[in-house]
Chains A and B, each alone.
Chain A
Amino acid sequence: MSIATQQAASPPATGTVQKRSGFLSRIVAHRTDYLYVLPALIVMLVVIAYPIYYTIELSFFRTPPNLQMRDKVWTGIDNYVRVLSSPVFHEVTIQTIIWTLASTVISFLLGLGAALSLHREFVGRGLMRALLLIPYVISAVAASYVWKWLYHSDFGVIGAISVQLGITAEPINFLDNRQTVLASLIVVNIWKEFSFAMVMLMAGLQTVPDQLLRAAQVDGANTWNRFWHVTFPHLKGVSMVTVLLLMVANFNSFIIPFVMTGGGPADASHIWITHIYQLAFGRQQWGVASAYAVILFIVMMFLGYFYVKALTRGDEARA
């Protein structure tokens, strides 16, 4: 039965009833449509909504490791107070911000440079593009192990080369040093994800109208001015989306720090996600971990809001 005939068949509702239950009556009128999305809705409720609810609930309880989960103790906002006043929280937050911003900005700029150089014709362009894409398609865990070896203080290639070249007297202990560990991980992360920015921007570059570039050329613009006045403004939308996606991905990074250092030494390479993981599954502090997760969730909602806004603005500009 079609929707139209269903609507016609339903008894005419009085004005007030219709107004109050407008939403419900619309659902009833379109009940077959809703039936189709119901399975998806149920799955989403089970795997998304319920965990969110449970995390929020847990964040108000203390869960001593020697007790069962159902014996958790209500502590109100105690977990939040503990988290927000903890020095480790501040340290990890600063590290997360450094990790996210540095990875995002440098990956984007490197990706932009790579996309621009690959945009012009030259011999071996296809090969170059394929080579630059390798880091992105490699498994993050495998890459982390490889980099761990490259960085290794005794057997690492990087340390050996820097000694051979006389840059350092001894191999640098990249990963076991509080000063260098975060930067070393950021390098790996950038290596891993700059080609994502490259692919996005390469797609964007293909949409820059040739006529505009030609017009700029006739108008007297040199290569830099053509980039700055034509190409870059055209890439604004895709840049915005790329940066936001990178930011969200970096904010939620887990594999590289977890595999390479596990957050150490002495929490120096922890970022939020690895720290939450350690609190929950390492120390069984479910309540505190949940409070962390809720705070992270709120921050992510902000990022998500800007992401959606940037996406829809891109649509309007294109329309």
Chain B
Amino acid sequence: MAEVVLKDVMKNYGSLYAVNNVSFAVEHGEFVALVGPSGCGKTTTLNLIAGLIPMSGGDIVIGDRVVNDLDPKDRDIAMVFQNYALYPNKSVFKNLAFPLQMRKLPKAEIEAKVMAAAKVLDISHLLERRPRELSGGQQQRVALGRALVRDPAAFLMDEPLSNLDAKLRVAMRSELKRFHHNLNATVIYVTHDQLEAVTMADKMAVMHGGVLQQYDTPANVFGNPVNTFVASFVGSPAMSLIPLDVVSKGTEVALRSPEEGWELPLSPMNARKASASSNGKLVLGARHSTLKLHKSAAAGAAPGKVYTVEPTGDVTFAQIFVNGAVVNISLDPTVAIEPDEAVWIEFDQDRMHLFDGETTMALKAA
């Protein structure tokens, strides 16, 4: 087991940069999730680490070796694919044995390792079956087993749960987490599902347009998103983002709605942040749980209009138009509001996020 380091990794197809200057380091035994929307370059990054596609630039280190020019088989990695990629004509046993067989291990050793892996994953009773005779979850486990038998330096997983139905996905999620914990394995895990990333990973690398946006613990990514993209991608429902103007009156700083004219005074801390805005405009971000709903005008509250109300049982989500932007808010189910009703939203000054109106980066107090 070892660490994986990416330094300025690039992959371009002509003028299209699928992966642009991505750098991050995965510590030994860490579970890192590469997350982002479709086409953000996360799978390409994984394939670059695996050596399945050639890099255009940069360095990749696995353990203490630079592996830039090594074949996938020489990189000491194992991979789990989205569709499991089990060899359909081979029994489960032979699927598990294949990577060892390719490394020309003695038969007895292969058998011992396969049996051990099968036992860990609880698939010993399936060894004689063909992949198509297995359920999705079982196939998933065999795919994991095939990665496991080799005892690789790192496990690369490409959306391994996305083909499972919702219930099984949740179950396998905990199993994967347990698997990582028990083996103390280094795992790099690609997913488009931010919830999967947040629940399983020690660290998450949020990618967008081939560029690494933020690489941090899920708590930090959730709590301190570096820009509006990360803010809106992580968390469900998404963080609400409202574009507003910054207005200063002496020492006081407030946010003003360019369309509706209302103003929202800022706390001294937030005022300092807002003053750092590059063009007098900023984007106010707030998570649904930090917002308070008022039925009448209140100090420090912005006016809005109810769009939809979605009761889910223990909590009711509502979407409210504020200054033309959709604001998600979670409410106690006893609160009764109707679509088109006029409401006021109070923001929590300590838990609001301010992003630059031009660069979309999080504003820091000057």
CB within 8 Å of B: which of A212-259?
Answer: 212, 214-221, 225, 229-230, 233-234, 236
How long is the Cα–Cα vector from A219 to B76 in the complex, in angstroms? 10
Q: Which residues of B contact A225 (CB under 8 A)?
A: 102
- Flag the segment in B79-87, B333-341, B351-359 that touches A: B79-87
Tell me how far the C-beta of B103 lies from the nearest C-beta in chain A, rounded to whole angstroms: 5
Binary A-proximity of B90-129 (CB < 8 A = 1, otherwise 0):
1000000011001100000000000000000000000000
How long is the Cα–Cα vector from A225 to B88 in the complex, in angstroms? 15
How long is the Cα–Cα vector from A216 to B146 in the complex, in angstroms? 11
Tell me how far the C-beta of A231 lies from the nearest C-beta in chain B, rounded to whole angstroms: 11
> Are B81 and A215 in contact, CB atoms less than 8 angstroms apart?
yes
How long is the Cα–Cα vector from A214 to B156 in the complex, in angstroms? 13
User: Which residue from A211, A220, A230, A234 sits with its C-beta under 8 Å from B81?
Assistant: A211
Q: Which residues of B contact A229 (CB under 8 A)?
A: 87, 90, 98
> Are B87 and A212 in contact, CB atoms less than 8 angstroms apart?
yes
> Are A220 and B103 in contact, CB atoms less than 8 angstroms apart?
yes
Q: Please tell me if A209 contacts chain B, counting CB pairs below 8 Å.
A: yes
Binary B-proximity of A118-133 (CB < 8 A = 1, otherwise 0):
0000000000000000
> Are B73 and A212 in contact, CB atoms less than 8 angstroms apart?
no
> Are B83 and A209 in contact, CB atoms less than 8 angstroms apart?
yes
Contact sample, A vs B, 10 pairs, CB 8 Å cutoff: A214-B72, A215-B146, A217-B73, A218-B52, A218-B73, A219-B99, A220-B73, A220-B99, A221-B73, A221-B102
> Are B89 and A219 in contact, CB atoms less than 8 angstroms apart?
no
Q: Please tell me if B264 contacts chain A, counting CB pairs below 8 Å.
A: no
User: Which residue from B52, B88, B89 sits with its C-beta under 8 Å from A217?
Assistant: B52
Q: Which residues of A contact B77 (CB under 8 A)?
A: 218
Size of interface on B: residues with Cβ below 8 Å to A: 22
CB within 8 Å of B: which of A93-128?
Answer: none
For residue B98, which residue of chain A has the nearest CB?
A: A219
Known: A220-B73, A229-B87, A230-B87. A214 touches B99 (CB 8 A): no
How long is the Cα–Cα vector from A233 to B98 in the complex, in angstroms? 15
Tell me how far the C-beta of A146 lies from the nearest C-beta in chain B, rounded to whole angstroms: 43
> Are B85 and A209 in contact, CB atoms less than 8 angstroms apart?
yes
How long is the Cα–Cα vector from A102 to B28 in the complex, in angstroms? 59
> Are B87 and A218 in contact, CB atoms less than 8 angstroms apart?
no
Tell me how far the C-beta of A23 lies from the nearest C-beta in chain B, rounded to whole angstroms: 37
User: Which residue from A215, A221, A233, A236 sits with its C-beta under 8 Å from B85?
Assistant: A215
The 7 closest A-B pairs by CB, nearest first: A220-B102, A220-B73, A215-B85, A219-B99, A233-B89, A211-B85, A218-B79
Q: Please tell me if B78 contacts chain A, counting CB pairs below 8 Å.
A: yes
Binary A-proximity of B129-148 (CB < 8 A = 1, otherwise 0):
00000000000000000100
Q: Known pairs A212-B85, A214-B79, A218-B99. 6 more at Cβ < 8 A?
A: A214-B85, A215-B79, A218-B52, A220-B103, A221-B102, A234-B89
> Are A218 and B78 in contact, CB atoms less than 8 angstroms apart?
yes
For residue A217, which residue of chain B has the nearest CB?
A: B72
Q: Which residues of A contact B81 (CB under 8 A)?
A: 211, 214-215
How long is the Cα–Cα vector from A220 to B70 in the complex, in angstroms? 12
How long is the Cα–Cα vector from A216 to B87 in the complex, in angstroms? 9
